[in-house]
Amino acid sequence: MPASNVETLTNPRDSLPNVYTGVTEREIDFVSRFALNWDALREIMGIMEPIKKGPGTKLISYTASVALESGSVDPGEVIPYSKATIVQAAMEDLTVEKYAKAVPIEDVVKYGAAIAVEKSDNAFLTALQNDVLSRFFTFLNTGSLTNNQTTFQMALSMAKGLVVNKFKAMRRTATAVVGFVNVLDVHEYIGSANITVQNRFGFDYVKDFMGYSTVFLMSDADIRRGRVIALPVENIDLYYIDPSDSEFAKLGLDYTVDGETPLIGFHAQGNYSTAVGESYALMGMKLWAEYLDGIAIVDVVASGGSLAAITGFSTDSGGAAGKSELTVPDPDVGGGKFYFKSKASSAPAAPSYLAVFDPTGWTEVVDEQIVSATNGHKYRVVEVNGTGQAIATADGTVVAGT
């Protein structure tokens, strides 16, 4: 069916009987329900209109920082540029994804069409939605604005403050912040207090909670206990590929779609050679964040904790006198960094756990790096999270070229 015919039906389910009267009605029902669900989610999150992209588009996340130069410039002198650093942090392809399911005629005989067809369509639709969302939550957990706090309340507060501060530093507006937490953490925190939990699109969420526009209550599969994830709504985009693209139609692939922003295409047909009803879905959707350091991840840790031990750090001769090759592991948390310093007789003092680390006089080490060091001196390496809190350390003896 042409897309224009679909768009005239604002709510096709109102005109359909309990059991579909034909393939066309099934297709319209499927794509319209999918669109309504995503419209509801966008409304809850506050996301703007979906952004259409072509097949093969690469979605890129960045980290951003600005080193501000002094504004005190003598008359006639050149004004120094403040250095803005934008670094690519993550990249994924936006690809067309193809799905199919089949219902054998025996299931219709056994259960009736209402169950065999409609129920399986419902399950198919839910599975497709959940796939997009699962990948989004996996992506959110890679945010690099990481921090630790000792209470759930402080984790909520700090997560919101971190992303608002980050956007202010970039001179960008954060009109509203959404949060994602484990449902058990919320209920443990509020105890017997009454809060109004709403449900749409299969989500439980609370509006206007602790300064957030919306807080989503998630399961362990999406957000582990003791973790708060927050980001401004301006940092969330929904990208899609149009399944009704005329280029696809040239292949003889005609999918039913819904509305001006067709997020999914659906086609149903019977296969006489196998006596099954086949259903095909086509979509290319991805929820994405433009700035990876615009996603705050705050974990609740026990008060009075101590620095963890860094494993996988080593020093080697580096191949030249007075040089040492340092090798650091991957950071344990998003946005983490390592700093190195050596002294003649004893290792530099370790910072306090979760204290904001001052790297003055220390050397930041990335992957494998050659540094100036004296063989036999004592070193310390400190790992910090994405907001500069010390979380781990190691010390030992420098191995350097002599």
Tell me the per-residue pLDDT of 238-288, one tens digit each, with 9 for 90 and over: 999 998 876 777 788 889 999 888 999 999 999 999 999 999 999 999 999
Q: Are 305 and 292 in contact (CB under 8 A)?
A: no
- How high is the pLDDT of residue 368? 92
Alpha-carbon gap, residue 322 to 372, rounded angstroms: 6
Rg from Cα positions in the chain: 27
Q: Are 224 and 230 in contact (CB under 8 A)?
A: no
Q: How many other β-carbons are positioned within 10 Å of the β-carbon of residue 135?
A: 15
- How high is the pLDDT of residue 141? 92
Whole-model pTM: value is 0.82
- How high is the pLDDT of residue 69? 58
Q: Are 392 and 310 in contact (CB under 8 A)?
A: yes
Buried b (16+ CB within 10 A) or exposed e, 376-389: ebbbbbbbbbbbbb
- How high is the pLDDT of residue 246? 64
- How high is the pLDDT of residue 388? 95
Taking all residues of the chain, what is their mean pLDDT, rounded to a whole number? 87
- How high is the pLDDT of residue 318? 79
- How high is the pLDDT of residue 397? 96
- List of the chain residues with pLDDT < 70: 1-22, 65-73, 78-84, 192, 246
- How high is the pLDDT of residue 87? 84
Tell me the per-residue pLDDT of 216-237, one tens digit each, with 9 for 90 and over: 999 998 999 999 999 999 999 9
